[in-house]
Amino acid sequence: MDATARPVSTPRLTRFLHLLRSAPLTAQFGMVVTLAYALVALFAPLIAPYGEVEVVSRVPFDGWSAEHLLGTDQLGRDFLSRLIYGARNSISIALITTILSLTLGCLLGMFAALVGGLVDQVLSRIVDALMSVPELIFILMILSILGGSILNLILIIAVLTSTRFYRISRAAALNVASLDFVEAARARGEGSLWIAVNEILPNILPLILSELGMRFCFIFLNIAALSFLGVGIQPPTAEWGSMVRDNAALINMGNVTPLIPAAAIALLAIAVNFVVDWMLNRASGLSEEA
Partner 1 sequence: MSFSSRPILSMVLSRLGLGLLSLVIVSLVIFSAVALLPGSYASAILGQNATAEAVAAMEEQLGLNDPWFLRFLRWLGAAATGDMGMSFAGRPVMDVIGPRLVNTVVLAAITAAIAVPLSIALGIVCARYRGRFIDKFLSTTTLASISIPEFFVAYIVMMLLAVKLQLFPSMAGIRASMDWGDQLYRMVLPILTLLLVILAHMVRNTRAAILSVMASPYIEMARLKGEPESRVVMRQALPNAIGPIASVVALNLAYLISGVVVIEVVFVYPGIGQAMIDSVRNRDVPVIQACALIFAAAYIGFNLIADVISIVSNPRLLHPR
The residues of the shown chain that bind partner 1, judged by CB under 8 A, are 26, 128-129, 132-138, 140-146, 217, 221, 224-225, 228-231, 241, 244, 248, 251-254, 256, 258-259, 262-263, 265-266, 269-270, 272-274, 277, 288-289
By C-beta, is 3 or 137 nearer to partner 1? 137
CB of 81 to partner 1, least distance (A): 21
By C-beta, is 71 or 241 nearer to partner 1? 241
By C-beta, is 75 or 229 nearer to partner 1? 229
By C-beta, is 109 or 258 nearer to partner 1? 258
CB of 244 to partner 1, least distance (A): 6
Q: Which residues pair with 72 in a beta bridge?
A: 78
CB of 80 to partner 1, least distance (A): 19
By C-beta, is 38 or 225 nearer to partner 1? 225
CB of 159 to partner 1, least distance (A): 12
By C-beta, is 7 or 254 nearer to partner 1? 254
CB of 118 to partner 1, least distance (A): 18
